[in-house]
Structures are given as C-alpha cells and as structure tokens.
Structure 1
Amino acid sequence: MSATPVDEIAQIHATLRTTFRKGVTRPLAWRRHQLLQLALMMQENVDAFADSLEADLGKPRMEAIATEVGVIYERATICAQNLEEWTKPQAVEVPEWQQSWSPTVHKGAKGTILIISPWNYPLILTLQPLYGAISAGCCAVIKASEVAPNYATLLARLLPQYLDQSAYRVVLGAVPEITKLLELQWDHIFYTGNGRVARIIAAAAAKHLTPLTLELGGKSPVIVDGTFDISLAAKRILWGKINNAGQICVAPDYVVVLRDQQDELIAGLKSAYESFYPNGALNSTSYGRIVSDTHFERLKGQLKRTRGEVAFGGQTNEKRWFEPTIVKDVAGDDPLLEEEIFGPILPVVPVDSVEDAIEFITSRDHPLVLYVFTEDPKTKASIIDRTMSGNLVFNDTVQQLAVNTLPFGGVGESGYGRQILKYSFESFTYDRSCVDIPRAAEPTLEIRYPPYTDKNLAILSAPLRAKIPESSIVVNGNGVAH
C-alpha cells in the first residue's frame, strides 16, 4: 500500500471544499447518480472486494458478501430511491397568528466530511458513512485503515472509476497522514474505532468546533436469565461471537448467567461450536483469522492473564487463527473484563439473580449493545427502564444490524451519533429553520415596537398569569415525591 503524499493532503482538502462551495453536490440528480455508481461499484467488483477482505482478515466469502458488499449495494440503492423524501422541506406546527410566516425546516448539507474507517469491517464501515455524505450533498475524504491494506489499496483504485473525484477521495497511510488530516478544518468527522484514539480526534476537532460521530464499541454484555431456551441462546450467542473471529464492535463481549445455569449454557455453547465446526474452527473455511500479530499477541495475553477456567477452545496457530474460546467462572475484576476483547474469547460471569446481573452491567460503562435472553416480560421491562446502551436486543445477537430502519450508535463511552440509511443522511445535514414573514402580518407585530406601554406589557405577559396544571406527584416537607 503506497501512502498518499502528505503534501498533497491539503490540496485534496481544498479541492473538495471548492467543489462544495460551487454547489456541485447540491442537485438531487447528481447525488442520485453518485449513489447508484456506488452500488454499481459493489455489483461489478464483488470478487475483488471479497478477495481483499479474505487477504486482510481471512474473512469467509459468505461473510464478506452478506455483511459488507451486499449491504452497501442495497443501502446505496435505497438512499437513491429516497432522496426526495428525506430532503424535502418540513413545515412545522405553529399558533394561528404565525401560520402566515411559512415556518419551515430545510435539510442543509454540512459541507466537507472526513471519514476515518477501521480495519475490522473496512468496507461497510467506510462506505456506510460515505453513502450518508453523498445523500446529504456533502463532499468527503476517506482515510482508509492501513491495517487492512489490500482493501484500502483496492478502494483507492476503484473509487475514482465510479465517483466524482472532485468530491470524493481516498487517503492512504498511517500516523503522518491522519495527523495532517486532523490539522485541517472539516465540517464533520466520522470516526469508527476505539475510545483512546477517539479522544485524540475529538481534541483535534475541538480546535475547529467540528461536530463528530464516534462509533466506539466497548464491552457489549449478554444476560441469560434461563427463561429462554438455553441451548438456542447458546447457539445465537456463539454465532454472534464467531463473526469475523469476534473482531466486530457488536460482538457479545461477555455473558452474565445465573450461577446454577452456567454449566448448561457452556454445554450449549460447546454443542453449537461442534455443529458449526465439525473438524474444528482452525480447519474451517467458515472462520476468519486475527488481523495482525499485534492483536494476536494481545488476545493471547488476555487469555493468559485470566483467572477464569477455559471451558473449551483456546487453540491457535502461527497463521493467526485463534479458536473460539469460552472461559467460565469469570469474576467481576478479571483481566478479561478490563477492556473490549475484540476477538473470539467469551468470558462467562455467574451471578445469583437477574437483579445482580442488572447491577453488574449498570455499574460499568454504557455498552454499544446490550443483549438479553429472556421470555419474562417483567425482566424485559426492567432492562428497558433501568439500563442504558446504544442498542438493546432481546433473544438474538448482531441481527439488529439487519434492520434498515433502526438507528445504530452508542451512548457514553460507546460513542455518539447515529447511522444507517436515513440516520446516516441526517448525520451529515443540519436543520436550517426558515420563516418568510409577509407584509400582511404587520398588524400582529405592532405590539413589539416602542414606545413600550403598560397595555402592551400586560398583553405580552398574559401567558405568565395562566394557571399551571396540577401535578400528580405530591412532594412532602422533606422534598420526597410520592
């Protein structure tokens, strides 16, 4: 992978800002063409993209197509079909005396966007924000991850063949290139990655008051309360964990299970593993590998430091294949619970009650996703009411990403901002309010002009004299509501 010359980056930035300022990206027909070209790039290069993901991550072809190439093809096409609906001005409700002002909200494009993409799902996590930027009428620079060099090089070669290079560019490289990009002023930065790097990016963005979307992941927990079929729960949990060898921000990071059901859950996990990989995961073409030596050694170190018991798995080889590994009897202060695992190790934490499970999770950073396996309506209601997470999924894992009409994003340490289809479009627009006050409205406005009089003051302050509705909450003398 050849890095983009650092001294060219400022010129790329300037070119895109000029393109936006000239209004090239404004017409909906132009945006629609770019979106359809993006879909065409997916359609005409399926094999090349799948091969690049296999080369970088050992990603099985089915995963590459089903979770990356095919998704972008579908969603770019949906965006093209919905541009008129998403971009049309929205009238707002107002009192009768303001209706002649035509109060309206317009969707304005933010401008020139920087997309900083990760290595684990490099295609979808690059091109999902890109289709949002195109839909919004923005220009964009993509900083592709150097950790997935085959995909990054392919994208840099193909994108100019399909999209307008005056509006959309790819920058290749590592620290020097991203450092230069962050020195420049952007109208929005979309970053997918970890909290440590996100803080660096947020600090750089703050110098220019640049808004951000941060997609950060974190430790997404699973609660199993025993009321849902445990063997099926185990199968669905393991499937969520093996995708991309666990290198996905929404992978189940650890499982909290009632203590007397831990062994049954582990038996279900083992049974599911054997059905997925009859000859073992390391001998299967349906399982990916760890992306780099650094991450491979990190995972081996995590497993070595745990005080839990390896229930099954744990085998590795020199080609960076790391077998799905279940660790039981993991305590709350175990090293496996310190940071996001981002790999195929699954700790199982036994607790004595659902209440303990909820307390265990709420005492930690808010996760990107909370998975809960339960058939109990009261437990579901309690989880909704008492926990915080970017996404909440009952009785499956990862499948929430297949719902095109739901927003996806984090809260707190797992990030902020939302994406997928219309939510991606909205990330790169701003609500621009507009009123058009006619001459005929002047009689209703006369009251605002000097000289100020007691009569006019009485009229303007009349709302303050209205009776406030009674509250249904009673507060006693100690300030306690009941």
Structure 2
Amino acid sequence: MTASGQLDTALARVQSAAIDGRMRNTRTRQKQLSSLFKSLTEHANSFVDAMQKENNLSKEEANIVVSAMLLEVRQHYENIDFEKELAQEYSVRWGKSWVDRRVAARLVYIIPQDFTKGFSVFSALSAAIEAGSCCVVELLNLSDQSTALIRKIMNAALDKEAFVAISSTAPGSFLKHCLMIDQMHQPSSPQYMGKSLISKASGRVVAVVDRTAKIDSAVKEIFASRMQYGGQSHYAVDQVFINEFVADEFLAVMREEFSVRAEAIDQTVNNGHARPTPSKRQTKLVADDCTIVDSQGNAEAVMVKLRSSQLLHEKIEGPLLVIHKITSLDDAIDLILSRDEQVNALFTFADGPEAKYLSQFIPSAVTFVNHIPAELLIGSAGPVGYPVRPDLRYVREMFEEPSPQIVPEGKIHAASNVWKLRNSPRSAAILAHASRPLRPTGQAAAGAWGFFETGVLLGAAVYLLPVILGTIVGATYTGIWTYRKVIG
C-alpha cells in the first residue's frame, strides 16, 4: 500500500472510532490514561537520553521535564471522578437538569513543537483523553529519538483505532472535522476553519523590575528563566525593564549570579553538543546596540542602549538576557506598548500597588507577581484565549463545548403555557410585575454626606470637640472665679 493509502486508512480508522463514541465511556478513558502512564514510566530513561541529545539539556534538566510529563498525565487521570460522572450522565433520567454539561470534541489533531517534544505531545494528548476525544498526532518523518519513542508508546499503550500518529499532514477534508492543537503557530501560519487551540510561539515575555522590588530575588528568578533549558523555553524572559534608581544594584547582583552559576552554565550534555546560541542576526544586534553586562560560555547579559533596537521588541533566542533602563512605571508601560501587541506573559517584581498598576495597563495573557513558576518553562506556550495555568498546560474544558440538558423545573415557562395567554388579561399583570423598579444601588443621594465628608465630621468630633468643650469649661470657671473675687 502506498504512503498516501496508509494515511487515508489510518485517518478513516480514527474517524470511525470518533463517530461511534469510542472514548466517551469513563472507564475507557481511565484505562487509556493508566496504560499511557505505565508505558511512559517504563520509557522515562529513554526520554531523558533523547532530550539531552536533541534539546541540549543537562541530565538534571531532562529529568525535570520527564517528571513534569508524568505529573501531567497523573493529574488528568486523577481528575476523572467515575461516581460523579455517572451521576451527571443519569441526571435527566432522574428528572434533574444538567445545566453545565459539556461534550468533548470527537476528533483532535495535534501539531507539537520540537522543544521537549514528548511533554508537548502527552500534555495535550492526556487532556484530550480525559475529555473523551480521539486524537491524531502529526509527527513528521524525522529520525530523532523522541519521535520514535512517542510512536512506540502510542502504539503500545493506546487504542490503535482511537489514537494515531501520522508522518505527513492530513488533508483539509479531514482537518475541517478536527479541533486543531497548534503549538507551532506563527503569524504567517494558515487560519483554521473550525475551533482551534493555538499557542502563540512568537509572543514575547517581559519582566518589569520596579524600585520597590527585592532585587536579589528578582535577579535569581529572571536569570533562571533565561538560562535554564538553554534559553529555549517559551516563557523565558525576553526583555527586562529595570528602574534606573536600582539598575546598578540589579547589575551587580546579576554579575554575582553569573559567577555563582558559572559551572552550571558551562555544563554541556554528554554527547558534546554546545548549548543553543542566539541567532546570527541577534548576535550582530548585540554588538551594535548593547554593552555587555557579563557572560559565561554561550550565556550573556547585555544592556541595550537604544530604544530603537529590535532586541527590545522581539522574541529572544538562546541564553541571551536583554536589559534596559526605565525611568518610571509609566515609562515601562509606554515602551512595552509601543508595539501594539499583547505579551505572552508579564513578570512584575514590585510591591503590591506598583504590581497592580503594571498589570492593569500592560496587556498580557498572564501576569505573575514576584516569581516565575518553574512549571511554566517546560513545553509550549499556553493556548490563546484560555487562562494560563502553571500546573497544567491543557485542561479538559479546552476540548469541550457546552451542551446543557434541561428538564421542566423551577420557574421555567413552557411555550404552551405562554400560548394560552393570548386572550387573557394575565399578560398585563405579567408586564406590570416585570416593570417593577430595580433595587437601589446603595449609593448615597447627590448632596448627601459621603465617605469623605463623614470622615471630616468624625475627625472634627474626635479632635476639635474636646478642645471646644475645654475652652467653654475653662471660660466658665474663669468667669465664676472672677465674679467671686470681685463680689466677695
């Protein structure tokens, strides 16, 4: 059979499984996740080796990524509550509405990113299994070890009719029936006709360090986000905007961090590959627009001099930390908003009021205050239009759509009952009832004593009244004393 014929057969098989509702059964979903977790644990060491070679990670970093992958599958398995789902399924049978009912997309098509590919695939796949979807994973015919492992695990652990890995892109006639999970999406990528979960791979991540920040903590968090995983994480800080009043302290702590972490930065993977480096174009921009704060091996921190530099407005590649001084919070806001685009994440290092102000006026998919979650640095960017969660990259609800089931209960008006009102005076009474005034807002009427005026009055009572009373008493006493002296 030709490659095209094999693809058509595989897609037809998974489409049939989706139509017959293969994954709707709760026990089936539990068994699939349990089998997947077991197979992943058996191949955990192989994934560690693959990520060391293909993503240039240290063994410790690869261990963390594989651990995160297993924890995601475990969480989706534990989220399934058989007794609760069974009770919900029979709600209508027992005359109860199920108003928050949701149904899973029948078919899911996953386009994974290459960075930590195993995590990228199985974080999405396990969420789809929890929801009850059949899945196709696009794994182009690459010779890398991660792709081979993913294929092997899917074939061994999952229902071969409900879950398929393919080595070429499916035709448009099939894709139009799928929920698309695109982790590689770029501005130039094609737009999908149906529902899709798109990760904005080109979205920037910025950090703002205010003068109220704890500088030592801010430097450590920002430095770790950029230097871990060779600077490949989608949520590594791309640009740091530091208040000029604390810039010198920030840079001093940054140099100290380079010194302390020198051995970890220099560490290379066992196969001798070097860490990822910035692109040649970004390297040239560094030479032209920046002064070097410190460097170690391929890692570098630079201070950008010119605001016209592209380094302040684009996604950074590799272990390159870009820093720029700001004069105030408004200056940071204006600079970040000079490009009309939402950032993927905003990390604010500041006291509460300043952090609130920044997050209010800088459009961002998510804001984190005074920390950078370690879980966020693994895998793809979160899908656009859904809350970013550090603990799970994908959640069940992303793969579902509302489909409530409602029985006649409470104050639901049946159509036949309303129809009976055609020649009845009751409709006028209903209109009068619906026209009742709205409840008051509780706001004081215009000219009434407000919070400020009440405060002034209270302050006067507390501070001025004793003085006035004391004056009156003193004057009275003096008058009596004088009278007695004169008359006596």
Q: Which residue of 1 aligns with 2:486?
A: none
Moved more, 40-49 or 101-110: 101-110
Residue 50 in 1 paired to residue 48 in 2? Answer: yes
Q: Which residue of 1 aligns with 2:417?
A: 447
The Cα of 1:195 is off from its aligned counterpart by 2.7
C-alpha spacing 1:195/1:241, structure 2 compared with 1 (3 Å): same
Q: Which residue of 1 aligns with 2:399?
A: 428
Q: Give, in whole Å, the separation in 1 of the partners of 2:427 and 2:184.
A: 55
Residue 457 in 1 paired to residue 427 in 2? Answer: yes
Q: Give, in whole Å, the separation in 2 of the partners of 1:36 and 1:75.
A: 12
The Cα of 1:23 is off from its aligned counterpart by 2.5
Q: Which residue of 2 aligns with 1:479?
A: none
Residue 265 in 1 paired to residue 250 in 2? Answer: yes
Q: Which residue of 1 aligns with 2:290?
A: 308
Residue 216 in 1 paired to residue 200 in 2? Answer: yes
Q: Which residue of 2 aligns with 1:241?
A: 226
The Cα of 1:473 is off from its aligned counterpart by 8.6
Aligned positions of 1:373-384 closer than 5 A? 373-374=349-350, 376-384=351-359
Q: Which residue of 2 aligns with 1:318?
A: none
Residue by residue, what CA displacement relative to the aligned partner does 1:201-220 show, whole Å, maximum 9, x if unpaired?
xx2x21xxx21111114111
Q: Which residue of 2 aligns with 1:480?
A: none
Aligned-residue identity in percent: 19
Match of 2:181 among 190, 193, 203: 190
Q: Give, in whole Å, the separation in 2 of the partners of 1:83 and 1:187.
A: 23
Q: Which residue of 2 aligns with 1:320?
A: none
Matched residue SS, 2:367: strand
CA contact (8 A) 1:254 1:347 kept: yes
Matched residue SS, 1:233: helix
The Cα of 1:360 is off from its aligned counterpart by 2.5
CA contact (8 A) 1:391 1:409 kept: no
Q: Taking structure 2 as the reference length, what is the TM-score of the superposition?
A: 0.78
Q: Give, in whole Å, the separation in 1 of the partners of 2:434 and 2:425.
A: 15
Q: Give, in whole Å, the separation in 2 of the partners of 1:445 and 1:309.
A: 74
Matched residue SS, 2:247: helix
The Cα of 1:20 is off from its aligned counterpart by 1.8
Q: Give, in whole Å, the separation in 1 of the partners of 2:36 and 2:204.
A: 33
CA contact (8 A) 2:421 2:427 kept: no
Aligned positions of 1:291-370 closer than 5 A? 299-306=279-286, 307-313=289-295, 323-364=298-339, 365-370=341-346
CA contact (8 A) 1:119 1:147 kept: no
Matched residue SS, 1:178: coil
Q: Taking structure 1 as the reference length, what is the TM-score of the superposition?
A: 0.79
Residue 254 in 1 paired to residue 239 in 2? Answer: yes
Q: Give, in whole Å, the separation in 2 of the partners of 1:8 and 1:147.
A: 18
Residue by residue, what CA displacement relative to the aligned partner does 1:108-133 show, whole Å, maximum 9, x if unpaired?
12101001100112121111110011
C-alpha spacing 1:148/1:328, structure 2 compared with 1 (3 Å): farther
Matched residue SS, 2:11: helix
Moved more, 303-312 or 445-454: 445-454
Q: Which residue of 1 aligns with 2:73?
A: 76
Moved more, 447-456 or 324-333: 447-456
Matched residue SS, 2:246: helix
Matched residue SS, 2:117: coil
CA contact (8 A) 1:119 1:148 kept: no
Q: Give, in whole Å, the separation in 1 of the partners of 2:6 and 2:355.
A: 54
The Cα of 1:27 is off from its aligned counterpart by 1.5
Q: Give, in whole Å, the separation in 2 of the partners of 1:344 and 1:258.
A: 23
Aligned positions of 1:69-108 closer than 5 A? 69-84=66-81, 87=85, 102-108=97-103
Residue by residue, what CA displacement relative to the aligned partner does 1:308-335 show, whole Å, maximum 9, x if unpaired?
22222285xxxxxxx1211103433212
C-alpha spacing 1:65/1:384, structure 2 compared with 1 (3 Å): same
Q: Give, in whole Å, the separation in 1 of the partners of 2:161 and 2:124.
A: 18
Aligned residues: 431
CA contact (8 A) 1:142 1:169 kept: yes
Q: Which residue of 2 aligns with 1:152?
A: 147
Q: Give, in whole Å, the separation in 2 of the partners of 1:73 and 1:447.
A: 55
Match of 2:408 among 421, 434, 437: 437
Residue by residue, what CA displacement relative to the aligned partner does 1:79-123 show, whole Å, maximum 9, x if unpaired?
2222127846769xxxxxxx9763533231210100110011212
Q: Give, in whole Å, the separation in 2 of the partners of 1:183 and 1:108.
A: 20
CA contact (8 A) 2:58 2:267 kept: no
Q: Give, in whole Å, the separation in 2 of the partners of 1:342 and 1:398.
A: 20
Matched residue SS, 2:212: coil
Structure 2: segments with no counterpart, 5+ residues = 447-488
Q: Which residue of 2 aligns with 1:24?
A: 22
Q: Which residue of 1 aligns with 2:482?
A: none
C-alpha spacing 1:160/1:427, structure 2 compared with 1 (3 Å): same
- Computed over aligned residues only, the root mean square deviation of the Cα atoms, in angstroms, reads 3.4
The Cα of 1:379 is off from its aligned counterpart by 0.8
C-alpha spacing 1:233/1:88, structure 2 compared with 1 (3 Å): farther
The Cα of 1:446 is off from its aligned counterpart by 4.4
Q: Give, in whole Å, the separation in 2 of the partners of 1:14 and 1:263.
A: 63
